[in-house]
Amino acid sequence: MRDKKDLKQVPDKNVTIAFQEANRKGLEIDVQVLSPLSEELLNMCDVSRTVNDIVSQSSSLKAQIDGIPSGKVCYFGLSRLFEQGLIEVSSQSIIKMDSNAGSVLQSGS
């Protein structure tokens, strides 16, 4: 669109877009296109995982990125999502169901 090309000439590309209210009245919306890494981290943020769980389970981060250890990259990515208001962090323990035994496990954050 910036180049004034025909939209049919623009290649298809799947992206994840985050929409957020920019003010309390909801009259403005911020739109952010997430990187593949941010998308993966955001998808992993649910009430069943701690930050450490997400860091250890992130499949895109098994190798270092530009010489930076994968754990640091993941922590930085999570902190950016938090700063952008796309995730929240809780200091409370989470409760997980043990699917094998049917019991409840408690885990700290």
pTM over 0.95: no
- How far apart are the C-alpha atoms of 11 and 49, rounded to whole Å? 36
Domain span including residue 58: 35-107
Whether residue 12 is contained in a domain is answered as no
Whether residue 45 is contained in a domain is answered as yes
Whether residue 30 is contained in a domain is answered as no
Whether residue 7 is contained in a domain is answered as no
Residues 93 and 109: beta-carbon distance below 8 Å: yes
Indicate the number of domains in the chain: 1
Residues 104 and 95: beta-carbon distance below 8 Å: yes
- How far apart are the C-alpha atoms of 16 and 35, rounded to whole Å? 8
Q: What is the pLDDT of residues 12-51, one digit of tens each?
A: 888 888 888 877 776 888 888 998 888 888 988 888 888 8
Q: What is the pLDDT of residues 63-94, one digit of tens each?
A: 567 778 888 888 999 999 999 888 888 877 65
Whether residue 17 is contained in a domain is answered as no
